[in-house]
Amino acid sequence: MNYQESLDYLYSLVRLGIKLGLDNTTRLLDYFGNPQLKTPTIHIAGTNGKGSTAAFVESILRASGYRVGLYTSPHILDFRERIQINRQLIAPEEIVHWIATLKQASEDLNISPTFFEFSTLMALLHFDRQKTDWNVVEVGMGGRLDSTNLCQGRVCIITPISRDHESSLGTRLSQIAQEKAAIIKHPCTVVCGLQEKEVLQVVQDQSRSHKASLLQLGRDFQVDIQSHTLQGQVFDFNGPEIWYKGLEIALVGRHQSFNAGLAVAACTGLDTSSVTEQSIREGLKSADWPGRLEMCGRNPYLIMDCAHNLDSFEKLTATLSELFPHKRKIWVFGIMKDKPLVEITTIISDHADYIVVTQLKSDRSTPPEQIWKAFTNFTKPIDQVDEISLALDRAYQVADSDDLIVVTGSLFTVAEAKQVIDNQTYNS
């Protein structure tokens, strides 16, 4: 198979759907000698902020001189984004090799891995072959039955947990927390972000039962934001016997300073002299993570954000209110069917002056007429269009040069919008 044929085969596995469970991954990892246990791993679970936190951790470790594997999901434009070493995407020829290798192994074992299981195996085998020093691995969904949970995290980071994927993880916050906190195993250090009380109790219980040391944001270390602008943020980190003043990040949104704080706590907790104050500063300052309050244009301003659940929309609207308090806000909005649409549209309605709802290419996309009906109490202009390119055209037609266009609703919304922007010329 060539590269495109290999990708076509991989995407054909999507038809198998999402099947939480470890049997396929266990058998395949055993087949290849359990490569996931050969390299120390930082394992990251949570609802929001996993990818950004992973990016901060990877950047700090790389600035410390390490060769770092990074596995995240989903991707925005290119599948290769999921599997990186020192932020270099896996090469197309490596994709071809590993798909062929895993396809043969699956046939030998008479199993049918899902798309995510296949992707996880590719990443772990690639990192092992390329002899990474550290792997930074983001959980796909949940934790307990996620394919990545065959890793043994030297450090386990639990980012803020909220309600999402309730049909798979449970409807109670404590249930969701139990699924995600299941990545905690002995021996490891747990770094925990700001959480609801019932979530924190689950994390504490899981850490205690596995004799894992626990560092909690707000208890064991502090993040104090000093400034927050469109150019980035400056914050102080105060931890056990550590005080770093004036740490800088380029990512926008106050929550990103807290994600960066989790990364600092994780990296300073490693038993290595290579992570220094200088490498932490360099790593944080150079870290980037596309699609998260990403500035993609000016005159008018264009921001894209992958917000897709209640918590992420609360953070998005809070940031827009802080950084663009007086600007007219035009939203381009498309969302998946499994999201709490009414609650999300209620949040958006208080922060929008014009809304363009649209249909995404995914079969899971909510029809625009259904989205339009959900904005029951929205009294300002709202348009309904059939695809993202038309939605962007409409937003630019109604926007003045000093307005703000916000593209959001899911990673798919951002991905499709980025493809349109790449193929068209808008103001910048």
- Domain at 3-286: CATH architecture: 3-Layer(aba) Sandwich (3.40)
Lowest mean pLDDT, pick from 160-164, 193-197, 214-218: 160-164
294-423 and 3-286 share a CATH fold: no
pLDDT the model gives residue 338: 85
Q: How far apart (Å, rounded) are the C-alpha atoms in residues 154 and 62?
A: 17
Structural domain spans, the chain? 3-286, 294-423
The pLDDT confidence band at residue 213, using thresholds 50, 70 and 90, is very high
What mean pLDDT value characterizes the chain? Answer: 94
Pairing between strand 232-239 and 242-249?
antiparallel
Q: Would you place residue 166 in the very low, low, confident or very high pLDDT band (cuts 50, 70, 90)?
A: low
Judge contact between 234 and 247, C-beta under 8 A.
Answer: yes
- Is residue 144 within 8 A of residue 50, CB to CB? The reply is no
- Residues 204, 17: Cα–Cα separation, whole Å: 33
Average pLDDT, stretch 309-319? 95
Own/partner contacts of 398-402, CB < 8 Å, gap of 24 or more, are 398/330, 398/354, 399/300, 399/328, 399/330, 400/300, 400/328, 401/299, 401/300, 401/427, 402/299, 402/300, 402/327, 402/328
How, if at all, do strands 232-239 and 329-333 pair?
unpaired
Structure tokens belonging to residue 189: 């250090």
Q: Which of 139, 128, 96, 97 is nearest to 29 (CA)?
A: 128
State the pLDDT at residue 256. Answer: 98
Rounded mean pLDDT of 191-196?
A: 96
Q: What's the pLDDT at 221? A: 98
What is the maximum span of the chain, computed from C-alpha positions, in angstroms? 62
Q: Where are the alpha helices (DSSP H) in 130-219?
A: 166-169, 173-181, 197-209
**Taking CA 424 as the corner, what is the angle to CA 421 and CA 427, rounded to the nearest 5 degrees?**
75
User: Is pLDDT above 70 for 427?
Assistant: no
Residue 33 has pLDDT above 60, yes or no: yes
- Mean predicted confidence (pLDDT) in 74-95: 97
Residue 167 has pLDDT above 70, yes or no: no
Return the CATH fold of 294-423.
Answer: Protein-Tyrosine Phosphatase; Chain A (3.90.190)
Q: What is the pTM of this model?
A: 0.95
Interval 243-302: pLDDT, tens? 999 999 999 999 999 999 999 999 998 988 899 999 999 999 999 999 999 999 999 999
> For the chain, first and last CA: distance in Å?
40
| pLDDT tens by residue, 34-76 | 999 999 999 999 999 999 999 999 999 999 999 999 999 999 9
User: Quick one: pLDDT at residue 426?
Assistant: 55
Instruction: For the chain, give the percent of residues with pLDDT over 90.
Output: 90
Is it the case that residue 380 has pLDDT exceeding 90? Answer: yes
Segment 161-186 mean pLDDT: 85
Triad 261, 318, 413: Cα angle to 5°: 90
User: 285 vs 86, 94, 238, 259, CA distance in Å?
Assistant: 16, 30, 18, 13
pLDDT for 168 beyond 70: no
Burial of 378 (C-beta count, 10 Å sphere; 0-12/13-18/19+): middle
pLDDT at 428 > cutoff 50:
no
Report the percent of the chain where pLDDT is more than 70.
98
- Give bridge partners of residue 225 from the DSSP assignment: 235
